[in-house]
Structure 1
Amino acid sequence: MARLTARHVETLPDGLHADGGNLYLLVKNEGRARSWVFRFQRDGKARQLGLGSIRDRSLKEARELAAKLRHALLNGEDPAGVFARLTGKAERVPTFAEAAARLIASKRPGWRNAKHAQQWENTLRDYVLPRIGKLQPQAIATEHVLACLRPIWTEKPETASRVRQRIEAVLDYCAAHGWRDEANPARWRGRLKMLLPEPAKVKRIEHMPALPYGRVAEFYRALTERPGAAARCLEFVLLTACRSGEARGATWREFDFEAGLWTIPGERMKAGKEHVIPLSAPVLALLKSLPRMEGSPYVFFAPRGGMLSDMTLTQTIRRMHADSLAAGGQGWIDPASDRVITAHGLRSTFRDWAGETTHHAREVIEHALAHQLHDKAEAAYARGALLAKRRALMEDWARFVTRPSAEVIPFPGAQTS
């Protein structure tokens, strides 16, 4: 068997590459993560021990360390304990909670916003740390992970899936630092998949309360009669079919009024990819009518110049609902769920209208919503941005939204029942 070279260490693709003498190079994440692994068998079980990153330990150093661990194994010693002594880690191995805090701190600069780090901390605090936070990483086994997951696996499937992924990431982090072996009890394939039902089979889909598109013109008129930045932001969300967070975070520099385009940078998009939205005439008129605050980059700003909160939009809709009921109206309820509509539900309103009443192609509609297309052929087609077709779609939507309520707008090739 050919041994690894310094060039191999830097260039080999993803996988586990043998050097001989129980030493392996583990390459993951398309070559971005490269670390040393000592593989051995003890008490009839195959085990892996992480020896650290290639940035922390050279090929020569990894071989020397592997030789000492192999010698210890032949003498009946546990390589994990010997490794801890040799590297000075025997005295203080962090608990799971401490390791999780270190991982979050190391990843925080690369995450798009502080909210992501907060979500990690909150889910671990609520569902994991009370059960395994004080345990040493090497002591955590499958039964410990299941104790964290089973109480929420069917009740909160989406949260449970994220919790599992985060436990797995923390334990991988521990293995990379030599605090436990490479076998990860939180891994799905080949481990928890055998013990828990598939997430997709227990996932309960809850749709955001949406406005029936037959009432969208009525809702638009109610918005235009309401003062305040939140009402203007909701008008914008309705007319562009964007997510509320994308609208609330919009800055003036993202708009090209001459071309009639709004370019949302990738770091503000759910999928992490830049998205361009053609602006209809009513949207352009709305934007040009808005006041600007000196020192604030936001199009829809809070009283002190910062970004509007999502709750501000929610409260505006709730007040509109209460006002409508007080005036003897129907209120703003999703008849399917009997719940007050939400800003995000306005995207569903757009999707239902476009799919059920117009001639516009499905891939054009999905691209307008910045949805990821599952079909590869469609996705390749969508990469062309379909800008002209999407502009026509958004102009049709704007005419439908801003029309007098009694007016019916026919569309060439519209679907009929």
Structure 2
Amino acid sequence: MSKLTQSFVRTIEKPGSYHDERGLILRVSALGTKKWLLRYQLNNRRHDLGLGAFPAVSLKAARLAVDTYRLDLSQGIDPLSKRALLDAPQTLPAPAVVTFRIEAERYIKTHRQSWKNARHAQQWSHTLRDHVYPLLGDMPVACVDTEHVLDVLTPIWNNIPETAFRLRNRMELVLDAAKARKLREGENPARWRGHLDKLLPRQKRAKMPFSAMPAEEVGPFIRRLDSLASTAARACELLIYTACRSSEVCDARWSELDLAAGLWTIDALRMKAGKTHRVPLCPGAIQVLTQQRGKHPLYVFPNARHSASLPGNALRRVMQQLQASEFVPHGFRSTFRTWAAENTLFPREVCEMALAHSLEDKVEAAYNRGDLLEKRRQLMSAWAAYIQAGASEVFNPCPEPD
């Protein structure tokens, strides 16, 4: 017996997908429009074939179309490929159908080299895989319209706003690239200004500062970290001792390190500012790195499968394990900067360069092209001494710079 009725199809208004028999689906968009789809499996992949909109295509007509396409499938004929062949000019060979998935993967491959680190490409791939491909992955990129974009974004727009907004931008870039390659025409349905900003509610994305652990709690926290044997705990220790970003620590490579010289040189491609950054290593940081020797030939902090570097959320999980979930790993940079300002006499530019921040004064930056490595080494040694004093519950004043 069929699952849908004519009265149901006519009256349903709630957005969603409603299944009939043999793969027929009625999709109701956030705008209230209703379209028919045939969902089928071919060569172990799922495909969605549009059958037209209701009421122009009735329930009965949609079922008859499904019967026709199911007959093609029983003979090994792909309905999507057949439609593309019939729609193409008869004097020209039928072009291959380029799906949104194919175009998105081409975009990622093309631009991967210009992105600062591999994690950015992973974020692209994972968000598209989780939120876009289930709905649009096998759809011809030329057919993606505003309703399809809204079907992707509406369920996550308010629940995970940051991901939703980034995902909208990624869809826009993929569709722009498709238009540039003459795979589609018309306006970009994922465009924000003057288009989706009129169809989606404004997100409330208040910018809050990263929650930072007070400096006096860092020493005892390091002592608790030292009690854990995990790779993530060692990475968190290095992050604290060096005041580096999570991505810089988690993706650290042995080729960047000179432990004899106490120096870590991070390639410009891995830095937020796009500049090579030299990090002086205090004895505590060197001890952490020494403990990681032999665990992976490339990465200092490999993941559990030893197939790649440690994921960034591993540091947050360690903090949760130690009941410090009210703070975030990135907040240790703020902790360090506040401590340096309030407890030492090191110049501001030394403290900022320790965080790999660019000088705000462009003229000053143009003339000052050094990285103040030795002065930063003194600063980081003072920071390490402060941490270790806190770890032993003994307070020692921070030394002043030479």
TM-score range, shorter chain: 0.5 to 0.7
From the superposition, tell whether residues 151 and 274 of structure 1 become closer, same or farther in structure 2 (CA, over 3 Å): same
The answer for the alignment partner of 1:222 in structure 2 is 224
The answer for the alignment partner of 2:351 in structure 1 is 365
Equivalent position amino acid for 1:354 in 2: A
Shift of residue 123, structure 1, vs aligned partner: 2.2
Q: Is the CA contact 1:351–1:365 (under 8 Å) kept in the aligned structure 2?
A: yes
The answer for the alignment partner of 2:336 in structure 1 is 350
Q: For this pair of structures, how many residues does the alignment match?
A: 311
Distance 1:291 1:151 in 2: 43
**Deviation digits for residues 13-43 of structure 1 (CA, Å, limit 9, x no counterpart):** xxxxxxxxxxxxxxxxxxxxxxxxxxxxxxx
Distance 2:333 2:395 in 1: 22
Match of 1:169 among 157, 169, 173: 173
The answer for the alignment partner of 1:158 in structure 2 is 162
Distance 1:117 1:300 in 2: 19
Bigger drift between 307-316 and 278-287 goes to 307-316
Distance 2:100 2:380 in 1: 50
Shift of residue 240, structure 1, vs aligned partner: 0.9
Q: Is the CA contact 1:157–1:204 (under 8 Å) kept in the aligned structure 2?
A: no
The answer for the alignment partner of 2:78 in structure 1 is none
Distance 1:294 1:144 in 2: 46
Shift of residue 378, structure 1, vs aligned partner: 6.4
Shift of residue 273, structure 1, vs aligned partner: 3.4
Shift of residue 407, structure 1, vs aligned partner: 1.5
The answer for the alignment partner of 2:293 in structure 1 is 292
Q: Is the CA contact 2:282–2:377 (under 8 Å) kept in the aligned structure 1?
A: yes
From the superposition, tell whether residues 262 and 405 of structure 1 become closer, same or farther in structure 2 (CA, over 3 Å): same
Shift of residue 277, structure 1, vs aligned partner: 0.8
Shift of residue 261, structure 1, vs aligned partner: 2.0
**Deviation digits for residues 46-70 of structure 1 (CA, Å, limit 9, x no counterpart):** xxxxxxxxxxxxxxxxxxxxxxxxx
From the superposition, tell whether residues 153 and 368 of structure 1 become closer, same or farther in structure 2 (CA, over 3 Å): farther
- Matched ranges for 1:223-238 at <5 A: 223-224=225-226, 226-227=228-229, 229-238=231-240
Match of 1:274 among 273, 276, 289: 276
The answer for the alignment partner of 1:405 in structure 2 is 393
**Deviation digits for residues 378-404 of structure 1 (CA, Å, limit 9, x no counterpart):** 654675323344223212211211124
- Matched ranges for 1:200-279 at <5 A: 202-205=204-207, 209-224=211-226, 226-227=228-229, 229-257=231-259, 259-279=261-281
Distance 1:118 1:285 in 2: 31
- Aligned with 1:262: secondary structure? strand
**RMSD over equivalenced CA pairs, Å:** 4.1
From the superposition, tell whether residues 175 and 395 of structure 1 become closer, same or farther in structure 2 (CA, over 3 Å): same
**Deviation digits for residues 120-175 of structure 1 (CA, Å, limit 9, x no counterpart):** 23323443345555654444444543444344444433212221221112212221
**Deviation digits for residues 354-382 of structure 1 (CA, Å, limit 9, x no counterpart):** 34444444444343223466664565467
Runs of 5+ unmatched residues, structure 2: 1-87
Q: Is the CA contact 1:298–1:306 (under 8 Å) kept in the aligned structure 2?
A: no
Equivalent position amino acid for 2:124 in 1: W
**Deviation digits for residues 176-200 of structure 1 (CA, Å, limit 9, x no counterpart):** 221222632333455445666777x
Shift of residue 314, structure 1, vs aligned partner: 4.9
Q: Is the CA contact 2:340–2:346 (under 8 Å) kept in the aligned structure 1?
A: yes
From the superposition, tell whether residues 100 and 255 of structure 1 become closer, same or farther in structure 2 (CA, over 3 Å): closer
Distance 1:102 1:297 in 2: 27
Q: TM-score under structure 2 normalisation?
A: 0.61
Q: Is the CA contact 1:241–1:347 (under 8 Å) kept in the aligned structure 2?
A: yes
Distance 1:98 1:304 in 2: 28
Q: TM-score under structure 1 normalisation?
A: 0.59
The answer for the alignment partner of 1:283 in structure 2 is 285
Equivalent position amino acid for 2:243 in 1: A
Shift of residue 283, structure 1, vs aligned partner: 3.0
- Aligned with 1:370: secondary structure? coil
Distance 1:242 1:271 in 2: 13
Q: Is the CA contact 1:230–1:308 (under 8 Å) kept in the aligned structure 2?
A: no
Distance 2:195 2:93 in 1: 29
- Matched ranges for 1:300-379 at <5 A: 300=301, 309-310=310-311, 313-314=315-316, 316-319=318-321, 321=322, 332-333=323-324, 339-371=325-357, 376-377=362-363
Distance 1:138 1:302 in 2: 39
Q: Is the CA contact 2:116–2:272 (under 8 Å) kept in the aligned structure 1?
A: no
Tell whether 2:385 aligns with 1:385. Answer: no
Shift of residue 214, structure 1, vs aligned partner: 1.1
Equivalent position amino acid for 2:125 in 1: E
- Aligned with 2:278: secondary structure? strand
Runs of 5+ unmatched residues, structure 1: 1-83, 322-331, 334-338
- Aligned with 2:279: secondary structure? strand
Distance 1:149 1:305 in 2: 34
**Deviation digits for residues 211-266 of structure 1 (CA, Å, limit 9, x no counterpart):** 22111222233344555655443332221112344334433432234543210123
Q: Is the CA contact 1:354–1:365 (under 8 Å) kept in the aligned structure 2?
A: yes
Q: Is the CA contact 1:96–1:136 (under 8 Å) kept in the aligned structure 2?
A: yes
Distance 1:280 1:308 in 2: 23
Tell whether 2:88 aligns with 1:100. Answer: no
The answer for the alignment partner of 2:128 in structure 1 is 124
From the superposition, tell whether residues 229 and 184 of structure 1 become closer, same or farther in structure 2 (CA, over 3 Å): closer
Distance 1:108 1:225 in 2: 39
- Aligned with 1:277: secondary structure? strand
Shift of residue 292, structure 1, vs aligned partner: 3.2
